[in-house]
Amino acid sequence: MSETNNLPSRKPVFQEKPETPSRKFWRVVWGSMLGFLFCNLIVSFLYMLMFFAMIGMMGSGVKSGSGTETVKDNSVLKIDLSQGVRERAIDMPFAQFNNYNDNLGLDDILASIKNAASDSKIKGIYLSSPSAAASPATLKEIHDALKIFRKSGKFIYAYSDSYSQNGYYIASIADKILLNPTGSVDFRGYAFQIMFYKNLIDKLDVDVQVIRHGKFKSAIEPYIMDKMSEANREQMDLLANTLWKCITKDIADSRHISVDTLNYIADNLIAYDAKNALASKMVDRLCYVADAEKMIKSKLNLGEDEDINFVTLGKYRKSFDPSSKAKQKVAVVYAVGEIHDGRGSEMQGIYSDSFIKEFRKAYKDDNVKAIVLRINSPGGSAIASENIWQEIEKAKKAGKIVVTSMGDYAASGGYYIACNSDYIIAQPNTLTGSIGVFGMIPSFQNFLKNKVGITLDKVATNPHADFGNGFRPMDEVEIAILQNSIEQIYALFTQRVADGRKMSVAAVDSIGQGRVWAGQDALGIGLVDKIGSLDDAVRKAAELAKVSDYAIAYYPKQTDWFSMLFRDDDDMDAAIRAKLGKFYFMFDGVDQILSQEGVQARMPMNIVIQ
């Protein structure tokens, strides 16, 4: 055997060829594409899981009043109104996962307080907000609901580091008002502040031509004047004093402090100092939040180391279902926001065609025996208001009782649609009346020429072909046409009120002229029938319809949460409001110049209540 046969065998060695640039390029491209596709598949799968989870939550009834939340024994309802109060709640099935839980509507707040009074698991209420972001009539509804709750014998405690004026008004109904020793109570009276844009409009070289009927119809004053007219000052003075009397009377009754003393405290800003607030009996004790909770634990017979079972409004509303199974119904139809012509979302206001469609559903239902028209509107389009008035007339001819419940506002166009009701109920601090109309057409011709450098020219088949386009002032003929239109609509408006309220046209004109009234004053001149709440209106409607066992049906059906996910208009306005703060009304005023079309029946101004 040769030596070579004894050598170990060797595997052949293959030399790997270097990767070409082309091959490397395609490897990277295909690898990236596969990775991208794989990631998209994972993300899509996760989104599908989330989607079906939400659908499942909807299907399982996770919504307001579904009874899906469980309340523990010995619980305390915790109320925080600082996030703001809408007229109606927004149904969000995943609200329990974020802070949206307490951004509820007045309807759910009132239902929760009412239910808590008879709920054996709820031992009391804890008011924990320094402020209450709502208008006076809404605050009055909540205040009065808490007043009824106290009759159940359960406690109400309020604590805050500091109280705003609105926050203190709500807290004033509590058995004990507690304040941080370094805090304050902002109690100073009401001031109605109106912003005037005339100087801004002059600087921009914008011409605003306005025509009105009614010496108090001062919606146009901010655009042509730099301060209130005497007529406007007269009505604002009466409004401010009426609203202030309402709040001081309620506080005086709850705190056993005379109205004169409350005014002395406000005049001298006494409650701004915590010790003075205590000495003047505006609060019951100076302490910290831990001390407040210790007091609540004592009421609940809990030990120091035991936790209080606080339940928020959002969660509590999901723990009970107040709906009735009765066949006969009282319908509550909401009319909230400015009044517009045509179709649109109820989230953006009262659009006549859309509202009429929903209102018709209510009175066409044979089981609906009465309708409560819940109005919270400063008015708007006069034509849209007349169209809604006509539909209410049809409902009455169909044998339905119609009762109006007024919220914060039911003014001008808002009162136009209310006046045809069988009965009208308002809060004492509802802003109502404003029976008057106006037209306002701006001209941007000088602004474009002098400020922007743009000029316009035209050809036209007829002298007035470009009437009302906003790019030139109106001539005498056009002004006369618009004035005639306003006089006709005012005459129709006053006739509608006269017919609805069983008054003469002359009597309506004497309290009309665009003047705004507080609900308490409106009662005395016959514009409303009774001072009361939405619940009072429902009971009155049932009484007039002669039904005792009834369910409440709400219209329109609220926009579902899935549709709201794709809405950005509310968010846009909220973002602008948040960014501009107290200067939002400047933006809003200019926006109104641009957006108002046709003859308007709306509140005479944007009021900032301070």
pLDDT at residue 48 in the model:
63
pLDDT beyond 70 at 339: yes
**pLDDT in the model for residue 441:** 81
pLDDT in tens, 229-281: 888 888 889 999 999 999 999 999 999 999 999 999 999 999 999 999 999 99
Check if the beta carbon of residue 471 is closer than 8 Å to that of residue 279.
Answer: no
pTM value surpassing 0.85: no
Active site residue 412: yes
String of DSSP letters for 161-189: SSB-HHHHHHHTTSSEEEE-TT--B----
Residue type, 36: F
Give the integer Cα–Cα distance in Å for 134 and 149.
20
Going by pLDDT thresholds of 50, 70 and 90, the confidence category of residue 438 is confident
Evaluate whether 75-188+269-317 and 329-559+571-609 have a shared fold: yes
Please confirm whether the linkage preceding 463 is cis (ω < 30° from 0).
Answer: no
Least Cα distance to 171 among 131, 223, 229 occurs for 131
503-518: burial string, b at 16+ Cβ within 10 Å, e else: beeebbbebbbbbbbb
pLDDT at position 374, please? 97
pLDDT at 193: 81
Task: Check if 217 is active-site.
Answer: yes
pLDDT in tens, 189-243: 998 888 888 898 889 898 888 777 756 566 678 888 889 888 888 888 999 999 9
The CATH homologous superfamily of the domain defined by 75-188+269-317: 2-enoyl-CoA Hydratase; Chain A, domain 1 (3.90.226.10)
pLDDT score at 37: 72
Cβ burial, residue 20 (10 Å; 0-12/13-18/19+): exposed
Q: Give 548-592 pLDDT, tens digit per residue.
A: 999 999 999 876 555 555 454 444 555 555 555 555 555 555 555
Find out if CATH 3.90.226.10 is the number for domain 329-559+571-609: yes
Query: Phi/psi at 348 (nearest 5 deg)?
Result: -110, 0
- Residue among 63, 140, 217, 540 flagged as catalytic: 217
pLDDT for position 263: 97
Q: How many helices (H) and strands (E) does the chain have?
A: 22, 22
Work out the mean pLDDT of the chain and round it to a whole number. 84
For tokens 């309506």, name the residue: 508
pLDDT in tens, 60-116: 433 445 556 789 999 999 999 988 888 987 665 544 444 444 457 899 999 999 999
163 phi and psi angles, rounded to 5 deg = -115, 130
Would you list the domain boundaries of the chain? Answer: 75-188+269-317, 329-559+571-609
Per residue in 39-62, pLDDT (tens digit) is: 767 766 666 665 555 545 444 433
| Contact partners, residue 580, CB within 8 Å, separation at least 6 | 586, 587
List the catalytic residue out of 280, 377, 412, 421: 412
